[in-house]
Amino acid sequence: MEACGETYEILHPEMPHPDYPKYKAWKSSVKKAFVKLRDDVLLIGHSLGGSVLLKFLSEEASPVPVRIAGLFLIAAPYWGKKDWEVQEFALREDFAAKLPSIPVIHLYHSRGDEFVPSDHVKEYKKRLPQAGLHEFGGNDHIFLSGLPELVQDVKNASKHGRSV
């Protein structure tokens, strides 16, 4: 996060078997990572990781142990859409109502994403109307050239949060 010009503590938990992901195993890794977080955390999830993070936040039985200042989802698939019917990753119909209080939510997606169609981010925006939506031309999924909009949004949200 050098681009932010500030010091951030970054936790990037390894997900088990990324080529053959299973929600239960990924959930366990996310749960272990949450123990290390402090209040006013900023959470960033990319692709499957973003959708798993959202599922975890909306379904965890006990309250999330930290206050979340912001959630940033990049190219996250919306499981349950046509041709994306993978039940173990699908969100509950009422997932948005089950999320903990998160004052800042942003969604990022390329219109021509070669892996996750852009109608997925539109589904998230419909269910999370308070979220900022950032759609881009091109076919980026990984955003190897960077995502300056994310950097700016993290800077803005970090005025209320301390770690990423």
Nearest to 27 by CA among 60, 75, 65: 60
Of the candidates 155, 156, 163, the one whose C-alpha atom is nearest the C-alpha of residue 41 is 163
pTM here?
0.91
- When divided into structural domains, the chain yields a total of 1
CATH of the domain at 60: 3.40.50.1820
Confidence of residue 97 (pLDDT cuts 50, 70, 90): very high
pLDDT tops 80 at residue 42: yes
Say how far apart CA 102 and CA 68 lie, in whole Å. Answer: 6
Give pLDDT tens digits for 6-40: 677 888 899 999 999 999 999 999 999 998 899 99
Q: Which two tokens stand for residue 89?
A: 């990753």
Q: What pLDDT shows up at residue 162?
A: 44
Pairing state between β 68-74 and 41-46: parallel
Asked if pLDDT for residue 163 goes beyond 50, the answer is no
Q: Which domain holds residue 69?
A: 37-157
User: Does residue 6 form part of some domain?
Assistant: no
Q: Which pLDDT score is estimated for 1?
A: 47
The larger pLDDT score, comparing residue 120 to residue 64, is at 120
Nearest by Cα to 104 from 124, 87, 128: 128
In a domain, 78, yes or no: yes
Percent of the chain whose predicted confidence (pLDDT) is above 90: 82
pLDDT attached to residue 9:
80
Q: Is residue 124 in some structural domain?
A: yes
Nearest 5°: the CA angle 73, 141, 53 is 25
Residue 82 lies in a domain: yes
In a domain, 129, yes or no: yes
Residue 99 located in a structural domain: yes
5 domain residue, yes or no: no
Q: 54 lies in a domain?
A: yes
Q: What is the pLDDT of residue 160?
A: 54
Percentage of the residues of the chain whose pLDDT score is greater than 70? 92
pLDDT at 2: 53
